[in-house]
Amino acid sequence: MTPAAVDAPRLVLRLPGTWVQLDPSRPELTDARIRAFVQLSMGRADELATARADMRKALGLMLERADPVAALESTFLCHEVSPGVPTPIAVSVFTPEAIRMSPVIGTDPADVIAGFVAAMRAIGDGADWEVLPCVDGAAARRWRLTESVVAEGLEDVPIRAFGADYWRTVPGSKRLVLVTVTSPLADIPQTLLHLADAIVAGSRFASS
């Protein structure tokens, strides 16, 4: 992989249901959207005021602590995939400048993805990557279920989560962007994977 110098067009996602977009480059708008999302998710009941404040803080810190090298472009938070069905899912788009295939690889999406998978195998991280055709390119996808302990004393009650990473080609270039999909709904991984695949496969790039 070699450094990229050309700005990429912006990835546009087709998201089913009700979502809120958070953009780290627009802090005032993002703060307002976080407040709106939290209110939409938790309501206005006085007894939930502390919980709403904690959720707003957590979402703000999530954006603030994003690694600058990863180049977080946007995070999309799902409220409902369909009316009356709250669905906690987060989709994030990263545009790291350093992720670009070698000059010896052409710009055909299949070649770019094959080069990416080969590079991952070369560093010992090539397991479980699958190729996903997209509207104007392709993606290499890998998904997982994880467990984590959220507080001391709760080691026996780990929180399970679903996660999927998609390295998505940029049309006419050797560049890749990263789309991540995460959710605490770990009991329905295949349903989440189907949804995540549909979101990424239906995505397309547009000039900014």
Give per-residue pLDDT as tens, 54-111. Answer: 777 777 666 666 666 568 888 999 988 988 888 889 999 998 876 777 766 888 999 9
Give the other-Cβ count within 10 Å of 148's Cβ: 8
Q: Are residues 110 and 31 in the same domain?
A: no
Amino acid found at 178:
L
In angstroms, the Cα distances linking 70 to 84, 120, 184 are 34, 17, 23
Task: Classify burial at 89, counting beta carbons within 10 Å of its beta carbon; exposed 0-12, middle 13-18, buried 19 or more.
Answer: buried
Is the residue at 194 inside a domain? yes
Is the residue at 112 inside a domain? yes
Say what the pTM is.
Answer: 0.82
Q: Would you place residue 159 in the very low, low, confident or very high pLDDT band (cuts 50, 70, 90)?
A: confident
Tell me the residue range of the domain where 31 lies: 26-65
Task: Give the mean pLDDT of the chain.
Answer: 84
Q: Are residues 185 and 102 in the same domain?
A: yes
CATH of the domain at 189: 2.60.120
Average pLDDT of the residues in 125-137: 94
- Confidence at residue 136, expressed as pLDDT on a 0 to 100 scale: 93
Contact yes or no for 160/186 (Cβ under 8 A): yes
Element (H, E) at 102: none
- Confidence at residue 106, expressed as pLDDT on a 0 to 100 scale: 84
For the chain, how many structural domains are there in total?
2
